[in-house]
């Protein structure tokens, strides 16, 4: 029995993904022996609607000067965050004299660069020093810190209140969300807005995309869970917008209570969640059975291909892939290497299973028979640029929403 991080009720995990490593810790052989593992076990709290993992490594173990994830590796995500920034400017900043925009988890500046380029006052809060420096190098003002209520107080004292507080794929990383919500309320002007997006629980359940669950993702949010949390901090959810990014996300719009009309989208999405049964324990039982079935099918397929003497290579050394690889028991025996465009991942080994990570050239120079798409959330972008592989007879394997081979 554990305590829910949000409401304090007692919760217990409905399944375990076993011992898992730090998902973005791509290691060298001399680090194999000292690799850190923890038990990855998710639970659902029926009291506050939060979906969370029971144990999570310390923030400093995951976010530091050698953080491996550079958001701008995806062209599509660069365009997505340009549209996000444009929408914020048009809907919430138009007509404001000298607006101030803050982003939490601003990474390499993928979103804030759009504000920097437009000459808008902005501040990125990014604790991983290497990606924070990449943002500064492209002109994005960035402080290298973990956001919390105390930092919000300092930002207000040093730079004033914010018109817009933004975040993407950040909120679901932070265990103490009460400190974030309180800090958000403190940082915003009375007519300010907080807008953030994260992978969506409804999509994860519908697609059995269990690899959304890994060390960094301490929560997978629903509209019901976000409304519950922010209500405790004088904030109101006034709109929601589904996104197709990262396998299905939700964008949440919040403001100080009573400051804005509430869109019917909010009630509508809460009703969708009830229809999906997101509040029911049996939904998570079914999810667990779906995960086990998916694992069985993927391992059977890879074992069969190996027996046939086929070459299988991984595509995209994603953080999500760590859960899939280590939960399913995928070894370098079944997947020869993983191709990834991120220089800091190349020449290293995937966490836990130690599958070699190689530059994209290793894939392009000697096409395998099958490419296992760990970056399944970037499928459209990747399919569009892998015409030559397809033309050469290369096949793809995906495991979300189901285990499938296609050419």
Binding site for ligand SAH (CB under 6 A): 59, 63, 67, 69, 71, 104-105, 107, 110, 125-128, 131, 146-147, 168-170, 173-174
- Residue 71 or 237 with smaller CB distance to ligand SAH: 71
Task: Give the list of residues 6+ apart from residue 240 with CB closer than 8 angstroms, or none.
Answer: 223, 250, 251, 252, 253, 263, 265, 266, 269
The helix/strand/coil state of 185 is helix
> Residues 231-260 vs ligand TMP: string with x where CB under 6 A?
------------------------------
378 binds ligand TMP (CB under 6 A): yes
Task: Give the list of residues 6+ apart from residue 96 with CB closer than 8 angstroms, or none.
Answer: 163
| Contact partner, 147, from ligand SAH, Zn ion, ligand TMP, none, Cβ < 5-8 Å per class | ligand SAH
> Residues 97-126 vs Zn ion: string with x where CB under 5 A?
------------------------------
- Residue 11 or 357 with smaller CB distance to ligand TMP: 357
Q: Which of 15, 41, 45, 371 binds Zn ion (CB under 5 A)?
A: 45
Q: Return the range that interacts with Zn ion (CB under 5 A); candidates 7-15, 81-89, 249-257, 324-332.
A: 7-15
Classify residue 222 by burial, with Cβ atoms within 10 Å: 0-12, 13-18, 19+. buried
Distance between CA 383 and CA 342 in Å, rounded?
18
Distance between CA 243 and CA 84 in Å, rounded?
11
6 binds Zn ion (CB under 5 A): yes
Distance between CA 238 and CA 184 in Å, rounded?
15
> Residues 58-87 vs ligand TMP: string with x where CB under 6 A?
---------------xx-------------
Say if residues 389 and 372 touch (Cβ distance below 8 Å): no
Note the maximum CA span of the chain: 67
* Sign of the CA dihedral running 21, 25, 26, 32: negative
Binding site for ligand TMP (CB under 6 A): 73-74, 316-319, 340-342, 375, 377-378, 381-382
């Amino acid at each position: 029995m554990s305590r829910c991080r949000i409401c304090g009720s007692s919760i217990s995990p409905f399944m375990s993904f076993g011992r898992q490593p730090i998902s973005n810790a791509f290691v060298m052989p001399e680090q194999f022996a000292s690799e850190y593992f923890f038990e990855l076990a998710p639970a659902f709290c029926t009291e506050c609607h939060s979906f969370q993992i029971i144990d999570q490594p310390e923030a400093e173990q995951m976010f530091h000067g050698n953080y491996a994830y550079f958001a701008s590796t995806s062209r599509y995500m660069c365009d997505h965050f340009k549209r996000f920034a444009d929408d914020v400017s048009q809907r919430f900043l138009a007509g404001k004299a000298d607006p101030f925009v803050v982003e939490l988890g601003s990474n390499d500046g993928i979103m804030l660069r759009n504000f920097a380029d437009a000459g808008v006052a902005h501040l990125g809060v990014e604790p991983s020093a290497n990606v924070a420096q990449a943002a500064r190098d492209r002109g994005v003002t960035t402080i290298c810190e973990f956001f919390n209520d105390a930092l919000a107080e300092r930002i207000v004292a040093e730079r004033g209140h914010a018109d817009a507080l933004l975040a993407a794929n950040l909120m679901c990383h932070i265990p103490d969300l009460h400190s974030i919500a309180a800090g958000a309320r403190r940082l915003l002007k009375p007519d300010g807005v907080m807008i953030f997006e994260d992978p969506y629980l409804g999509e994860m359940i519908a697609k059995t995309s269990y690899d959304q669950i890994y060390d960094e993702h301490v929560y997978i949010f629903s509209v019901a869970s976000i409304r519950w949390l922010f209500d405790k901090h004088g904030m109101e959810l006034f709109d929601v917008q589904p996104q197709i990014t990262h396998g299905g996300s939700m964008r949440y719009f919040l403001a100080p209570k009573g400051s804005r009309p509430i869109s019917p989208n909010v009630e509508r999405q809460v009703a969708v969640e009830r229809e999906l049964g997101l509040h029911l324990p049996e939904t998570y039982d079914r999810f667990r059975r779906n995960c086990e079935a998916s694992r069985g099918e993927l391992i059977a397929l890879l074992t069969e291909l190996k027996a046939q003497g086929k070459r299988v290579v991984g595509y995209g050394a994603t953080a999500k892939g760590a859960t899939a690889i280590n939960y399913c028991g995928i070894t370098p025996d079944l997947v020869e290497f993983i191709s990834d465009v991120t220089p800091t991942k190349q020449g290293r080994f995937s966490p836990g299973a130690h599958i070699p990570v190689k530059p994209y050239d290793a894939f392009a120079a000697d096409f395998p028979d099958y490419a296992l798409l760990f970056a399944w959330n970037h499928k459209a972008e990747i399919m569009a640029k892998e015409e030559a592989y397809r033309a050469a007879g290369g096949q793809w394997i995906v495991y979300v929403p189901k285990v499938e081979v296609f050419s």
